[in-house]
Amino acid sequence: MKDRIEILASGFGGQGVVRLGQIVGVGAVNQGFRVTMLKSHGTEQRGGYVRTQLVLSSEEIDSPLVEDPDYFCVLSSAAYKQFGHMVVDGTILYDPAMVEIDENKTTRQIAIAAKETAVEKLGRPIYANTIMLGALTGATAGLLEKKNMLETMLKIIPKFKEENKKAFELGFSMTTS
Amino acid sequence: MKRFLETGNFAITEGAIMAGCRLFAGYPITPATEIAEAMSKNLPKVGGYYIQAEDECGAMHMAVGAAAGGMKTMTATSGPGFILYADPYGWAIGCEIPIVVLNSQRVGPVSGITGAPGQGEFYNARYPTQGGNYETIVLAPNSAQEAMELTVEAFYLSERFRTPVTILADQLVTDGLEDISIPETDEEKEAMGLRFMDRKVHMGPDFYPATDEIDLPPTVLGKNTGAMCSDWTPTEEGYDIETVEAHHKPSYRMIYKIRNHTDVIARHETLFLDDDPDIIVVSFGTASRTVKTAVKKAREKGLKIGMIRPISLWPFPDELFNKKSTYLSVELDYDGQMVREVERAMPCDSDIHFFGKCGELPTVAELHEIFDKLLKNEPLKPEGWEKEVW
């Protein structure tokens, strides 16, 4: 494992980007990682972009900044334009309903139809971030343990547990099957 | 040991209650609002009190009043509130009332940017009230964990020195989330290096000794000790007198009780200073987090770069800057406040440079660019500046 894993999540206010980061952060702490999480704040939360920067390490973390993301969960074109260039060797997980990607980019870019799947399979777009969480968990290939992430998510989101569980599984299968 | 992912605000609350804080008076302000929120939930559980005041001026007056009445108290704010603390802060200094004040710096001046980090209160924390004739104790954490530990330390120092102690944090310390370890047993607290001191009562009839003595319990009003407590120039018994002759004594005490005991206060972190580094980077608070990563990575590339991080910011630790080198002060402000202190403390044949950002941390990539320029003797040209002049 690398000594430092950087995860970036960004989208519009209200999409659950900070919640997504919080679940990953708490789950990582449960797995024994040292964790830092910075969240964007202020007017950005009312319509602008929202950003969560997570760093995971087995050692004490100095810089909490994400400068070279290993994973980038992106839920808006604006966020993709603003931060996409930072991803060099990492993986981009994007929702094609909301993000237009640069096809020429050489890094790994995986389409996660989170919003569409949430509406079709669960009836509401609100589960899109849980689908993205499942997809991210799958994409990390065991770094984030599936059982732990699922349990952490169900603990942090108090309502609609069955729907969220299903959403997580749907997302997980998108990056593992 | 409890371990979880939480904000610095939450960690500070845990530290305060652990240190015996039983009253918090405050007025909510980003990025310190969650301290008020957590205090309002957690203090009543331990028999303590949370008071939401009408504004910051009222808040700190209430906290100072309760401290003068014998309670360990705290208040928390950000820059726009800290400036309103000026009057009660002076009362706490002059009347020697222990209290802990947290200032989570955002971007200023005035309201500035609420949800972004700044370090513009470096000097304001040193001179938080009018009139001079005093030293102040200021501690600067760079993580949520350290914020918890320094909150405990701030209560300890405030009791030992009979004075307010400011924790000068910033938005990323208080609003950022990190894994935090909260000790539960005495052994765990000791292993973490935490120090505690109970509130005691000074049995008068004198108010203060005209010496630099520390470890003198504070005067607690209403305890019938015979001691008075005055914000006017007091006699040693605490009566108002307002004479030039009398004023020398409390002034001497307020300055030298701190100046002569900096060994009790001093804390710092240094890295790679043993081989006469070509550059020594100086930073405090969250700016030091990316600086540390940048310095470590520069060393991996073979560059001779060291780092100094003052944790006790005031009194300023002049003794750390005894090496001839090229100093680089990295700050979350554009006016280069700490530059002046480093320049004053460093050997006169050293150089000083400045790199400032506001509202966000310097990146490792930016810092490496700066290191390269300095090593090539190229002038720094931060965006917006034509020339780097100090």
Ranges of each domain in chain A: 5-176
Backbone φ, ψ for residue A155 (5° rounding): -75, -40
Mean pLDDT of all residues in chain A?
94
Report the half-sphere exposure of A26 (CA within 13 A, side-chain side): 18
Q: Could you state, in order of their start, the residue ranges of all structural domains in chain B?
A: 2-191, 268-375
pLDDT of residue B378: 86
B177/A39 touch (CB, cutoff 8 Å), yes or no? yes
| B28 contact partners, CB below 8 Å, separation of at least 6 | B36, B37, B52
B178/A35 touch (CB, cutoff 8 Å), yes or no? yes
Regions of chain B short of the pLDDT cut 70 = 382-390
Report the half-sphere exposure of A86 (CA within 13 A, side-chain side): 23
Phi-psi region of B302 (alpha: psi -120 to 50; beta: other; left: phi over 0): left
- Residue numbers in A near B113 (CB within 8 A): 42
pLDDT tens across A11-33, in order? Answer: 988 889 999 999 999 999 999 99
- In A, minimum Cα distance to B5 occurs at A26
What letters, b where the CB count within 10 A reaches 16 and e where it falls short, cover B17-43?
A: bbbbbbbbbbbbbbbbbbbbebbbebb
**How far is the C-alpha of B386 from the C-alpha of B10, rounded, in Å?**
42
Same fold: B2-191 with B268-375: yes
Q: Residue B363: which of A36, A62, A65 has the nearest Cβ? A: A65
| Residues β-bridged to residue B4 | B180
* Among the listed residues A174, A101, A100, A162, the one whose alpha carbon sits nearest the alpha carbon of residue A133: A174
pLDDT of residue B7: 97
* Among the listed residues B78, B120, B334, the one whose alpha carbon sits nearest the alpha carbon of residue A41: B78
Chain B nearest CA to A50, separation (Å): 12
Chain B nearest CA to A11, separation (Å): 18
| B43 contact partners, CB below 8 Å, separation of at least 6 | B17, B21, B22, B23, B24, B49, B50
CATH of B2-191, one of 3.20.20.70, 3.40.190.10, 3.40.50.970, 3.40.190.100: 3.40.50.970
pLDDT tens across A79-136, in order? Answer: 999 999 999 999 999 999 999 999 999 999 999 999 999 999 999 999 999 999 999 9
Cis peptide before B109 (omega within 30 of 0): yes
A 16-55 residues with CB below 8 A of B? 22, 25-26, 28-29, 33-42, 44
Residue B335 · residue B263 · CB < 8 Å: no
- Residue numbers in B near A38 (CB within 8 A): 172, 176-177
Report the half-sphere exposure of B62 (CA within 13 A, side-chain side): 19
A37/B5 touch (CB, cutoff 8 Å), yes or no? yes
Q: Residue A25: which of B5, B31, B113 has the nearest Cβ? A: B5
Query: Cβ atoms within 10 A of the Cβ of B319, count?
Result: 10
- In B, minimum Cα distance to A4 occurs at B293
Residue B100 · residue B21 · CB < 8 Å: yes
A 125-144 residues with CB below 8 A of B? none
pLDDT tens across A20-66, in order? Answer: 999 999 999 999 999 999 998 555 455 667 899 999 999 999 999 99
CATH code at A5-176: 3.40.920.10
Q: Residue A25: which of B175, B177, B294 has the nearest Cβ? A: B177
* Among the listed residues A115, A45, A130, A51, the one whose alpha carbon sits nearest the alpha carbon of residue A83: A51
pLDDT of residue A177: 78
- Residue numbers in B near A6 (CB within 8 A): none
Q: Residue A35: which of B114, B179, B293 has the nearest Cβ? A: B179
pLDDT of residue A70: 98
CA geometry: angle B170, B268, B26, nearest 5 deg: 30
**How far is the C-alpha of A59 from the C-alpha of A113, rounded, in Å?**
35
CA B62 to chain centre: 21
Fold exhibited by the domain B268-375: Rossmann fold (3.40.50)
- Residue numbers in A near B116 (CB within 8 A): 41-42
